[in-house]
Structures are given as C-alpha cells and as structure tokens.
Homo-oligomer: A and B are copies of this chain.
C-alpha cells in the first residue's frame, strides 16, 4: 500500500493543525482512516550534517515510548565531512518498528525519505530496498542551476523507477523555507513531522524530545524546530493521499529504556562497580567512553584517556592489580596492540575486562562498519598458551549485563575477560527492560585486612586452578607479580614442573568456569534437519530467519553462543539432534566447497566459529559467512537456510 502524494511538485502552503498534546492523527486509537500494520521499516538518508540520524533517533524513541518494538541502525559515512551528494557519504538511519520486539534491522525498507538522490546508491548496493519501496525524494535537485546535478538527478530517477521503487518527488526544502532560512539545518525535523503523520506518532512526544535535545540552545531554536515538525505533519497530511498507518503497541510489563549498545556498555561498566575505564579513542568503541566521560562521575568513576592502547592496557592492569578491577574498551587495531600485555594479565592472573567493539577488518579495514572478525584473535592472539574467558554480546541488553558478568568472572577467576560486541550493537538503538541494580552488582570495597598467614599468593586449588589474591595494602600478603614463569609463591622459576603446573592451573580455570555454565537454549525444536549456530549481534536476524523457515514447516533450529571460551556445555548432544550443523557469521571464509584453482579445488578456510566448533565439538561443521560491512538481514539468512535444506533434499 504505497503512500502517494496528493499532487506532485506542489508546494502547498501548509498551516499547522495537529495541536501540541495530541497524536499527529489527533487520536489515540486506530481509526477508520488508518491502515493497521504489524511493523514497518523506514529510512532517512541524507548528506552528513543534515541531521538524518537525529530525526531517526527521535522517531525511534517516541515509537518505543508508544509501546512499539524498535530497532534502529545508523548509516555512518566513513569520513568526517564527505562532500555533499556523494554516494559513499550517505549519512542516515534505519528504524524498524512494530508491534513485537524488534531484534534486528530487518530486510528491505518500506519507506525512505531521501534528501538527495545520490545518497541512495550505497544503500541500494546493500540491497536495502526492493520493488515497491516508497521513496520520498527531495525534488529541488530537478531544478538545480548546475546541469550536471540535474542530469544526475534525472538518471537516478530513471534507475529508481527501473528498480521498481515508488518514487514521490517532494519539495521538502521549499516547504521548510517558510520557517527557516537555513533548511539544511532544520529539514530533519520537518522530515520527522512527515513521518509522525504517516505513522501516526504522538506529536507531543516529538515536541518533548525536541525540547530535551535543543533546550540548551535556547527557546528560539526549540520553537523553530517544533514549528518545522508541525509543518512536516501538515505537509504530509496534505500532500499524501494514502491513509496513515496504525501500529498497535505491545503489552510491556517492565519499564523500559531506549539506548544503543555502547551506552549499554557504559551503563554496564557503572553497574558493575568498575571505577576506571582506561582507553584510547578508536571507532566504533569510542562513543562508549564519550558516554561514560559525561556521566561516570555520578558513580565516582573516571575515564583515563591514555597515550596509546598499550598504555591504556598497562594502566588498567596496574589499577586492577591494586584492587580496582578496571576495564579497557577498544576495537580490533587496539586489541592487536594490547596483545602482549593481555598475555601478561593471563600469565599473572590479573582480573580485567577488555571490551572489543569489533569493526570491519583486517587492519584499519572498515572502521565504521560491522564485522565479527576478532573471535580467533581474542582466543589465540597471544604467543603461547593464554587461556581466558571470551564472551560475546548478542543484544543491547547483553552489552549491559555481560559487562557486569565479565567483571564478576574476572574477579572470581582472577583473569582478564574479553567481551566482544560489534559496530552493529554499538550504534543500534533498541528498547530494553530497565535492570534492577542492587548493591551486589557493584564490586565490593577492596579487602585491606591482613593476609592470612601461610597462604601463598597463588594458592592454586588443584582442581579448579582458583586462588585468592592479595591486594597491595594487605599486611603479610606482599608478593611480586611477574610475567615470568613462577611458583605458587610468585617466585621466578625455571624448572619444568613449575612451568607445566602454572600452565595447567591457568587452563583449569577455564574448565572450572565451564562447569558453572549451562547448555545454550535451543531456538526451535531439539531435533531437526538443520541447526544454525551463531554468536554476537546476528542473534535477532538468525532467529527471525529460522522463524520464517519454521513457519513454512522447515525443521530448522538455532543456538546462539554467548560464551566462546570456554564454550557452553552440551553442544555435542545438541548437534547430534540435527542432520546438519552450520554457523552463520559476518566474517570472511572461503566457500565450504573450497576454492577452484587451476582446474582443481583447494580446501576452503572456514569461518571463525566453525573452526572453533570443529576443534571443540568435532564432526562436520558447515558454515556460511560473508563480510558485507553491514548486518545480515533475516532474508539473506533465510535464503541460505533454504539453500542448505535443499541440499539436504528436505525442501
């Protein structure tokens, strides 16, 4: 049911009608003149600096407030200020919202508001749109003084029509001119207004958000933006023929917060009682530190920006050694630099939380884009045997909770813990239940009582490898931490026995941790044709794809791993219920059938989780992975599953 404008290319003089305090539709319930739908995917795409993301964030927030499930993904240009109207410079946002909980970005968009036509090309390449996607396109370029621009616009229109998009050219900028002399800076609120009308969002909520965001800049700015919002509402109502939509709200029991994964990490750090985050800026991890830098002092914490990642890690280790378990937040290149000190932390058993917000890789790669490529480096990056727990967040909620878990594991098991998240979670925004934080989430005050006589600094339990830890200040606990092979007394040792024992004790801690874990829950039936195994931010998309296939009667299930080292137990049993087991990942792998070369075939290099499962669970592990730089859509995964099922001759 595409939205159609009443009349093309007409800048009708729009007067305000939706008065503040009422929903843009003027009513709180679905009405006769509304189309009731389950969910919608909307994008706003523009040049960097035009505020598309801000508009989308407000739209997402008010949708959440209205009781919808929401998932937003930012479309981030890789450069600070890409030239305007550039294909690689698209800046924008996708909002998927609906009656149910939204867990991923979904498939193709239903409606796109674009402030110029060029920014759509990158999205098209990513298959963000399909036949029937409605484009509300700024029409001013049609009459641009520069003939090259006019030509580009015309060519693009042709292409869009050829792709089957429903294009509505609209003079949005012109309509804004009545309210602002610089529409480049206000058009985003106008667009928000349009969307508010189309999807019947509560205009009061939007105005409140505007107040909250622009309040600091003074009443005039607030008023102007609110006026633009209302103008957008009116414009849409007048210009668009179609009835607006109504998306029924969910029943939500818990109180909810709306935030992105990096903010959730920041909250997790605070909720874990971690007092110091020692970091060096790196995309896409930095915004977590920005968030913390602004609020950390509410809980008495401090962000230390070190001179580099090595120093950040050294500082965190020092802080942890002195009793205050610290956290360092980074991304791939930073993790690489921390390798040597991470080995020390494992060797000397220093508790510590290392968060790696993964990005496109290897090397500098795609700094702003999504990938899950650091799994093997997290497990095996250090020369020598350096066992350590590795966790991965699958949701924004996980970003908060697993940070708290990581701190607890770090201290209980006296070990650095790596928590993997990624660029998708980092900037994805979603409503999540508000956690009920209690005092026991916070780290307890450090123990400064005298150290128990006769207990040595590495008093390893023979079975679990665990040992209590003296904190500087504890009388009688004096010891010298070292990265050299050492005895229980932390004395430097050169003998075989000490070396082997130390290695064993550190390894045993992983086994001990594993013994506390339960098998992962199976999404779907316990028996079937195909089991999909995933980790990290692909959770929502995988489960949605599985649901679709199941709805069509396919015997597909999935499991999602939050613990990668040690792995959750029970995988062998789970896998044995399925004809085929495959991983789905966002990382590079050769095709499972191998690479053709000189007529023959060379065996393929598997994806990273598949490699781990082959080693740890054994048996045939199939895989599918790609590195598009953006999240997987449920449809992509669904297609792969169906292909695999066809191979199995079950479809």
Contact = CB atoms under 8 A, between A and B. Distances in A.
Given A340-B336, A362-B384, A595-B508, A630 B125 contact: no
A386 B362 contact: yes
Interface string A572-598: 000000000000000111100011111
A377 B381 contact: yes
Interface string A421-443: 00000000000000000000000
Contact of A508 (B347, B362, B597, B620): B597
Interface stretch (A20-28, A109-117, A294-302, A510-518): A510-518
Given A499-B629, A511-B595, A597-B464, A385 B364 contact: no
B598 A122 contact: no
A531 interface: no
Nearest to A572: B603
Nearest to A127: B496
Contact of A336 (B339, B463, B605): B339
A600 B618 CA distance: 20
A507 B605 contact: yes
A78 interface: yes
Nearest to A619: B618
A384 B365 contact: yes
A22 B278 CA distance: 71
A74 to B, nearest CB: 14
A550 interface: no
A363 B503 CA distance: 11
Given A88-B494, A499-B629, A361 B385 contact: yes
Q: How many copies does the complex hold?
A: 2
Nearest to A82: B494
A377 B366 contact: no
A453 interface: no
Contact of A346 (B332, B363, B497): B363
A627 to B, nearest CB: 5
A627 B463 contact: no
Contacts of A385: 361-362, 373, 587-589, 605, 627
Given A511-B595, A614-B615, A615-B614, A362 B343 contact: yes
Interface stretch (A132-140, A258-266, A406-414, A481-489): A481-489
A602 interface: yes
Contacts of A340: 333, 336-337, 363
B500 A626 contact: yes
Contact of A362 (B363, B383, B626): B383
Interface string A371-399: 10110110111111111000000000000
Contact of A366 (B494, B497, B629): B494
Contacts of A268: none
A369 to B, nearest CB: 7
A387 B373 CA distance: 12
Contacts of A343: 333, 336, 361-363
A630 B500 CA distance: 12
Nearest to A368: B494
Contacts of A603: 511, 514, 616
A46 interface: no
A515 B599 CA distance: 11
Given A385-B362, A614-B615, A499 B627 contact: yes
A193 interface: no
A45 to B, nearest CB: 15
Contact of A125 (B344, B366, B380, B497): B497
Select the residue from A363, A365, A373 with max chain B CB neighbours within 10 A.
A363
Interface in A207-228: none
Nearest to A587: B385
Nearest to A514: B602
A455 B632 CA distance: 35
Interface in A599-651: 600, 602-603, 605-606, 611, 614-616, 618, 620, 626-630
A457 interface: no
A300 to B, nearest CB: 32
A627 B494 CA distance: 12
Nearest to A484: B364
A107 interface: no
B347 A362 contact: yes
A360 interface: yes
A588 B386 CA distance: 10
A496 B629 contact: yes
11 contacts: A122-B495, A343-B362, A362-B386, A366-B484, A381-B382, A496-B628, A500-B588, A500-B627, A508-B595, A511-B603, A515-B598
Given A360-B499, A365-B483, A374-B384, 11 more contacts: A122-B494, A122-B495, A337-B337, A339-B339, A362-B385, A371-B384, A377-B380, A377-B382, A495-B629, A499-B627, A615-B615
Interface of A: 78, 88, 122, 125-126, 332-333, 335-337, 339-340, 343-344, 346-348, 356, 358, 360-367, 369, 371, 373-374, 376-377, 379-387, 463-464, 482-485, 492, 494-497, 499-500, 503-504, 507-508, 510-512, 514-515, 566, 587-590, 594-598, 600, 602-603, 605-606, 611, 614-616, 618, 620, 626-630
Please give me the 10 A-B residue pairs with the lowest Cβ-Cβ distance, nearest first. Answer: A361-B384, A362-B384, A332-B383, A363-B483, A347-B363, A511-B602, A336-B340, A364-B483, A503-B588, A496-B628
